[in-house]
Structure 1
Amino acid sequence: MHLAHGNAAEEIGRVAREVGADLLVVGHREQGRLSRWWRGSVGASLLTHAPCSILVAVSHTEVG
């Protein structure tokens, strides 16, 4: 288990390199436009920082 703080995509990529990960499994849920603009997209950033393949599990719950 790893506990980190900072930019999520950078930290996930750093830990994946440290442990020699072959695959990252991440969850995704839809966000509203304002929320996506405000927080940015960790998923898009993760594509540039991941040292291995990424599997994305998508939640189909509606945005409230």
Structure 2
Amino acid sequence: MTYFLVKQRVLSLANAVDGWLIRLFIRLFASELCSFGAELAWFIGDWRKFLFLLAVAIHRTLKSA
């Protein structure tokens, strides 16, 4: 295997890991944002919105696990 092929494989692996980390960060951020929205709706007193956002946060957390 030549140096060029090894370098290409290492770079493609690094890009794959980098993309995976970015997707994981986006999922965690979206989950936290939904949780914050649920807490905010709780303080406002809108029960339907609170329950919806709580269900979305639980669904996203279970989906990403």
Give the alignment's TM-score, normalised by structure 2.
0.28
Q: Which has the higher contact order (CA 8 A, sep 6+)?
A: 1
More strand by share: 1
More helix by share: 2
Structure with the greater alpha carbon radius of gyration: 2
